[in-house]
Structure 1
Amino acid sequence: METNTNKPRIMIYGANGYTGTLLAREAVSRGYSPLLAGRNAQKLAPLAEELNLPAMAIALDDDDALANALREIDIVIHCAGPFSATAEPMMRACIATGTHYQDITGEMQVYMLGHSLHEQAKQAGIVLCPGTGFDVIPTDCLARALSDAMPGATHLTLGFDSDSRLSPGTAKTSVESLGVGGAVRRNGEIEIIGHAEKERTIDFGRGEKFAIAIPWGDVATAFYSTGIPNIEVYIPLSPRKAKQMRRLNWLRPLLRTGFIQNFLKGKIEKSVRGPSAEKRAGLKTWVWGEVRNDRRGERKVGQVTTANGYDVTVYGCLAVMDFLANYQGEGGYFTPATLCGPGLVEQLPGSSEIKISLG
């Protein structure tokens, strides 16, 4: 374990996964010695040997073992999904042991869970900050910047356009949403809608594209960051694929069943691989946002470009980790933008400045 008192004691849980491995390698390149942890010792061993790091197999349902490990840790970067199953035991263990928590989830229910645990985290003096990766740093920072540019806004719309492929973990999360549907926030409350039920044309930064609303994490987090009561998030999709998505609405009850979920996730496990470093380097992401005050007839548009989602996740997690290493504020639940400020995304390698203009 790292003994330098100037550096935090870090645990990367789920270090053997695609993103966890990228994080561990980048952390070591910066002089950190994180503890690699996860559920399977054999899967952790090759990376631990490669990086000459300690490794520990810990089951999330083993309360005593998890607590004993976390008492020696300042910050957990949680990378083991599906977070709908893994986030709560890790969050509660961090609260019990006084350990800061961050993760790479994009799942709305995890953000809502963190928000519900705000007072417990505050009393423990620790930070809960889920979503310190591509989900949701760029969109969260843009949302906060747009809100600051238009106090009293009534509507916020966000979106992003990227050529990046899904990692195995993100693909599995997407499978979970198939049985649920889309989501938007209306008058402060989250509403479940059909797949591809809402559509519009958006110029994300490289020309106008047909886009559909998706159940992205900002439907939860942007509300916590801005207080804006009406929120939607869009991605580009061809009209043909949008039509196919709408057909899935008839199958949502079936797609929620454990048998179908396990079948689809098993296929992903066998076939989906994250992109190589060379492929990641050639990709970037265009992030777009619109804020309105319909009572005053005002509209502003914001844009920021970033590196590919995987690099944003690695750089974003480590930036938040560095922030928490010197953190002296109150504990509680935070979004990335409320913790580190909307300029966080601009600090990440490959990012542009946030630009806001009149719509």
Structure 2
Amino acid sequence: MIYGAYGYTGELIAREAVAKGYRPVLAGRDAKKLQPLADELGLPAVAIGLDASETLEHTLRDIQVVIHCAGPFSATAEPMMRACLNTGTHYQDITGEMAVYRMAHGMHDQAESAGVVLCPGTGFDVIPTDCLAAALHKAIPSATHLALGFDSDSALSPGTAKTSIESLGVGGAVRRKGEIEIIGHGELTRQINFGRGEKFAVAIPWGDVATAYYTTGIPNIEVYIPMSPRRAKKLKRLNKFRWLLRMNWMQKWLKKKVDNSVRGPGEQARAEQKTWVWGEVRNDRRGERKIGRVVTANGYDVTVHGTLAVMAFLLNYEGPGGYFTPSKLCGSELVEKLPGSGAIEIGID
């Protein structure tokens, strides 16, 4: 079942699933938005809200895997996860929200007992960086520091834009000595060659601050994206207003602006945009350092193909339940198998 199938990314996943010969059940809250897509694709549809827990669980009893695409995941992930635990249904989603990864990790024992896989983040958030983190950790198993990042020209989808808005009132995030630490926006910067020349980069509160730790156990983790120094200075100024950006009315206002103005990239734009993923792993005590890179397709195409690859894996899965990162579930080679992706390259650079 694809829940949130009429959203930008949910629709892309639904269309590609049909192209691959699958016949998923399409689901979501809004029947008026859902039914036209179901009719066009010739698929069954179920309009259901996540607050209707009994009806949701009744629907899930015949479903083997849920692909959850309806954000904001900070509000929607938990009720869907709990419904899946109660019905023996494997759960995956396309979130990039750190809080969701931490919540799913905290539900590991329940999922293990239920024989259910919880694998949030089966899209661009966080398949490429998670797989690269796993490969880098294999290169230096004693690593104490991990930095990850990516460089892309891709435009934001509405869902990703809203996730970014939620982080504005919180700040940046890194992991230090095994614990997540909130830092100011634009506070941590460095020069990085993501794969197409050295660029100024800024640390962001990306999901790998949580997931890469679950994958590797490395206690110090940072994630970067390229940004102009001028834009980084503007971002830093937002720190004075984080209290305001956390207010519910401000969040609603900013997200409404997204609804009115942000549209996901078209097919041609996605086809022309690659993503350069970079990572650095270190053990300073031993003087060891290695760099890893992998080039992937556009982030939204990675999400579509990555999500369906994990879904196909779960349809034939006979292993234990529990919380998994994508690389822990499917192996670090998962990203290399996706259309448009190259091989992970590890070296000293």
Q: TM-score range by the shorter chain?
A: over 0.9
Q: Distance in 2 between matches of 1:31 and 1:287?
A: 30
Q: Secondary structure at the match of 1:65?
A: helix
1:26 aligned to 2:16?
yes
Q: What residue number does 2:293 align with?
A: 303
Q: Distance in 2 between matches of 1:225 and 1:151?
A: 12
Q: Distance in 2 between matches of 1:275 and 1:105?
A: 18
Q: What residue number does 2:111 align with?
A: 121
1:208 aligned to 2:208?
no
Deviations 1:271-322 (A, max 9, x none): 1001110111000000000000011011000000000000000000000011
1:49 aligned to 2:22?
no
Q: What residue number does 1:64 align with?
A: 54
1:286 aligned to 2:276?
yes
For 2:157, which of 158, 163, 167 is the aligned residue?
167
Q: What residue number does 1:14 align with?
A: 4
Q: What residue number does 1:357 align with?
A: 347
Q: Secondary structure at the match of 2:101?
A: helix
- TM-score of the superposition, structure 2-length normalised? 1.00
1:146-185 equivalences in 2 (<5 Å): 146-185=136-175
Q: What residue number does 2:233 align with?
A: 243
Which amino acid letter does the alignment assign opposite residue 159 of structure 1? G
Q: Secondary structure at the match of 2:282?
A: strand
Q: Distance in 2 between matches of 1:143 and 1:99?
A: 28
1:218 aligned to 2:208?
yes
Q: Distance in 2 between matches of 1:36 and 1:350?
A: 27
Deviations 1:206-232 (A, max 9, x none): 000000000000000000000000000
Q: CA RMSD for the aligned pairs?
A: 0.5
Q: Secondary structure at the match of 1:141?
A: helix
1:110 aligned to 2:113?
no
For 1:101, which of 65, 86, 91 is the aligned residue?
91
Q: Secondary structure at the match of 2:75?
A: helix
Q: Distance in 1 between matches of 2:222 and 2:269?
A: 30
Question: What are the ranges of 5 or more consecutive residues in structure 2 without an aligned counterpart?
Answer: none
Q: Distance in 2 between matches of 1:26 and 1:162?
A: 23
Which amino acid letter does the alignment assign opposite residue 70 of structure 2? A
Q: What residue number does 1:8 align with?
A: none
Q: What is the deviation of 1:72?
A: 1.0
Q: Distance in 2 between matches of 1:73 and 1:329?
A: 18
1:135 aligned to 2:110?
no
Which amino acid letter does the alignment assign opposite residue 216 of structure 1? W
Q: Distance in 2 between matches of 1:267 and 1:230?
A: 36
Which amino acid letter does the alignment assign opposite residue 259 of structure 1? W
Which amino acid letter does the alignment assign opposite residue 5 of structure 2? A
Deviations 1:250-288 (A, max 9, x none): 000000000100000001001100111011100000000
Q: What is the deviation of 1:173?
A: 0.5
For 1:319, which of 303, 309, 317 is the aligned residue?
309
Q: Secondary structure at the match of 1:86?
A: helix
Q: What is the deviation of 1:49?
A: 1.2
Q: What is the deviation of 1:139?
A: 0.1
Q: Among the aligned pairs, what percent are the same residue?
A: 72
Q: What is the deviation of 1:81?
A: 0.3
For 1:199, which of 180, 183, 189 is the aligned residue?
189
Q: What residue number does 1:5 align with?
A: none
Q: Distance in 2 between matches of 1:350 and 1:49?
A: 30
Question: What are the ranges of 5 or more consecutive residues in structure 1 without an aligned counterpart?
Answer: 1-10
Q: Secondary structure at the match of 1:19?
A: helix
Q: What residue number does 2:30 align with?
A: 40
Q: Distance in 1 between matches of 2:335 and 2:95?
A: 17
Q: Secondary structure at the match of 1:288?
A: strand
Q: Distance in 2 between matches of 1:186 and 1:152?
A: 16
Q: What is the deviation of 1:45?
A: 1.3
- TM-score of the superposition, structure 1-length normalised? 0.97
For 1:266, which of 256, 259, 267 is the aligned residue?
256
Q: What residue number does 1:252 align with?
A: 242
Q: Secondary structure at the match of 2:200?
A: strand
Which amino acid letter does the alignment assign opposite residue 356 of structure 1? I
Q: Secondary structure at the match of 1:31?
A: coil
Runs of 4+ aligned residues of structure 1 deviating over 6 Å after TM superposition are none
Q: Secondary structure at the match of 1:202?
A: strand
